[in-house]
Structure 1
Amino acid sequence: MSDNSAALPFSTKFLYGFGSIAYGIKDNAFAYFLLFVYVQVFGLAPNLAGLAILVMLVFDAISDPLIGYFSDNTHSRWGRRHPYIYGSVLPVALSFFLIWDPPAGLSQNELFWYLLLVGVGIRTAITIYEIPSSALGPELTQDYVERSSLLAYRNWFGWWGGLAMWNLLWIFVVVSSQNGTQDARYLPETWVIYGIGCSIVMAIAIMVTGVGTHRHIPDLHVPKAATDQGQKSNFFQGLWRTLTVSKNYRILFIAMIVCWGASGLATNLTLFFYSFYWELKPINILTIGVSLFLAPLVSLKAAPMLAASIGKKRTALTFFTAAMVVENVLLLLRVLDILPANGTTALIGFVLAFHWMGVCCVIIANVTVASMVFDTVEEVELVTKTRMEGTLLAARSFAQKCMSGLGAFSAGLILQIAAWPEDARAGFVEQATLNTVATTAIVASVMLWTTGIWLVSLVNANQESHNERLRNLATASD
Structure 2
Amino acid sequence: MTQAGQAEPPKLSVWTKFVYGLGSASEMVTLAAIGGYAMFFYNQVVGLPATLAGLAITVSLVLDGMAEPIVGSLSDRTRSRWGRRHPFMFVGVIPVAICVIAIFNPPKDLPHLWLFFWFASFVVTLRIFMAVCHVPHMALGGELAHGYTERSQVMAWNNLLGMIGRASTSFIALSLFFHATEEYPRGLLNPHAYTPFALAVAAAGLLILMISAWFTRDRIPYLPKPPQDLPPFSPFEFFRDMKGAFSNINYVWLLVGFFFLSLMLGMREGLNLYINTFFWGFTSEQIRWFVIGTLSGFFVGFFLTPRVHARFDKKIAVLVAGAFLAVTPAVPLVLQLAGLMPAPDDPSLLPLVIAFAGVSAAAGSVMNISVMSQLADIADENELRYGYRQEGVLYSTRSFFAKLDTAIGHLFAGIALDLVAFPEKATPGQVPEETLRSLAIVDGPLAAVPGLIALLFYARYRITRASYEATRARLLEARAARGGRLAAAAAD
- Which band: TM-score by shorter chain? over 0.9
Correspondence for 2:224: 221
1:28 partnered with 2:29: no
Tell me, yes or no, if the aligned pair for 1:35 and 1:408 is still in contact at 8 Å. no
Q: Report deviation, 1:352.
A: 0.9
Aligned twin of 1:343 = 345
Does the Cα contact within 8 Å between 2:65 and 2:401 map onto a contact in 1? no
> Which amino acid in 2 is paired with 1:472?
R
Report the 3-state secondary structure (helix = DSSP H, G, I; strand = E; otherwise coil) of the residue aligned with 1:228.
Answer: coil
- Give the deviation of 1:285 after TM superposition: 0.9
Report the Cα offset of residue 70 of structure 1. 0.7
Give the AA of the match of 2:290. I
Distance in 1 between residues matched to 2:359 and 2:388, nearest whole Å: 40
Instruction: Give CA deviations for 1:247-287 in whole Å, capped at 9, x if unaligned.
Output: 11111112122212212222221110111000002221122
Answer yes or no: is the 8 Å Cα contact 2:379–2:389 preserved in 1: yes
Q: 1:446 to 1:296 in 2, by over 3 A?
A: closer
Change (3 A) 1:446 1:23: same
Would the aligned equivalents of 1:230 and 1:386 in 2 still touch at CA under 8 Å?
Answer: no
1:186 match: 189
Distance in 2 separating the partners of 1:127 and 1:290: 30
Q: Which position in structure 2 is the counterpart of 1:199?
A: 202
Do the aligned partners of 1:264 and 1:402 also contact (CA within 8 Å) in 2?
no
Unaligned runs of at least 5 residues, structure 1: none
Q: CA deviation at 1:443?
A: 4.0
Contact conserved, 2:250 with 2:463, CA < 8 A, in 1?
A: yes
Distance 1:28 1:298, change over 3 A: same
Q: Deviation digits for residues 204-249 of structure 1, max 9, x if unmatched? A: 111111110111111112363xx42243983244233233120111
State the partner residue of 1:169: 173
Q: Which residue of 1 aligns with 2:69?
A: 65
Letter matched to residue 412 of structure 1 = G
Report matched runs for 1:37-186 at 5 Å.
Answer: 37-173=41-177, 175=179, 177-178=180-181, 180-186=183-189
Structure 2 residue identity aligned to 1:381: E
- The equivalences for 1:423-434 within 5 A come to 423-434=425-436
- In the TM superposition, what is the alpha-carbon distance from 1:402 to its structure 2 partner? 4.7
2:416 matches 1:414:
yes
Contact kept in structure 1, 2:89 and 2:209, CA below 8 Å? yes
Number of residue pairs the alignment of both structures matches = 474
CA distance in structure 1 between the partners assigned to 2:239 and 2:72 by the alignment: 15
Larger displacement relative to structure 2 (280-289 or 422-431):
280-289
| Aligned positions of 1:228-267 closer than 5 A | 228-231=229-232, 234-267=236-269
Alpha-carbon separation, structure 1, partners of 2:386 and 2:79:
19
Q: 1:353 aligns with which of 346, 352, 355?
A: 355
CA distance in 2, matches of 1:210, 1:309: 33
Contact map agreement 2:143 2:223 (CA 8 A) in 1: yes
Distance 1:174 1:413 in 2: 26
**Aligned residues of 2:143 and 2:376 also touching (Cα < 8 A):** no
TM superposition shift of 1:170 = 0.8
Inter-CA distance 237–174: structure 2 relative to 1 (3 Å threshold): closer
In structure 2, the residue matched to 1:435 is 437
Deviation at 1:317, TM superposition (A): 0.3
1:104 CA displacement: 1.1
The CA distance in 2 between the partners of 1:91 and 1:281, in whole Å, is 33
The amino acid of 1:347's aligned partner reads L
Return the offset for 1:98. Answer: 1.3
2:308 matched residue in structure 1: 306
3-state SS of 2:96 partner: helix
**Secondary structure of 2:82's aligned partner:** coil
Look up the match of 1:209. Answer: 212
For the residues of structure 1 that align with 2:177 and 2:211, how far apart are their CA atoms?
29
Q: Give the deviation of 1:403 after TM superposition.
A: 6.8
For 1:213, the aligned partner's letter is T
What is the CA–CA distance in structure 1 between the aligned matches of 2:70 and 2:169, rounded to whole Å?
31
Asked whether the 8 Å contact 1:323–1:361 carries over to 2, the reply is: yes
Please say if 1:16 is aligned against 2:20: yes
Deviation at 1:173, TM superposition (A): 4.5
Separation of aligned partners in 2, 1:464 and 1:67: 33
Equivalent position SS for 1:202: helix
The residue number in structure 1 matching 2:323 is 321
Amino acid at match of 2:125: G
- Residue 412 of structure 2 is aligned to residue 401 of structure 1: no
Q: Which range moves more in the overlay, 239-248 or 309-318? A: 239-248
Q: Which moved more, 1:453-462 or 1:51-60?
A: 51-60
Query: What is the alpha-carbon distance in structure 2 between the residues aligned to residue 239 and residue 96 of structure 1?
Result: 32
Seen in structure 2, the aligned counterparts of structure 1 residues 24 and 401 have a Cα distance that, compared at 3 Å, is: same
Note closer, same or farther for the CA distance 1:166–1:440 as it changes in structure 2 (3 Å cut): closer
Aligned in 2, Cα 1:70/1:150: closer, same or farther, shift over 3 Å?
same
The SS at the match of 2:230 is helix
Partners of 2:177 and 2:194 within 8 A in 1:
no
Identity of aligned residues (%): 27
- The answer on whether the counterparts of 2:83 and 2:225 sit within 8 Å (CA) in structure 1 is no
Please provide the CA RMSD for this pair: 1.9
Structure-2 separation of matches of 1:13 and 1:460: 28
Contact 1:52 1:115 in 2 (8 A): yes
Task: Compute the displacement of 1:2 (Å).
Answer: 4.4
Asked if the contact 2:61/2:127 (under 8 Å) is kept, the reply is no
Cα deviation for residue 472 of structure 1 reads: 1.1
Contact conserved, 2:293 with 2:358, CA < 8 A, in 1? yes
Aligned AA (1:416): D
CA distance in 1, matches of 2:66, 2:177: 38
Report the alpha carbon displacement of residue 399 of structure 1 after superposing the two structures with TM: 4.4
* TM-score, structure 1 normalization: 0.95
Which whole-Å CA distance do the structure 2 matches of 1:310 and 1:24 have between them?
29
Give the 3-state SS of the residue equivalent to 1:341 in structure 2.
Answer: coil
Letter in 2 for 1:60: D
Q: 1:232 to 1:122 in 2, by over 3 A?
A: closer
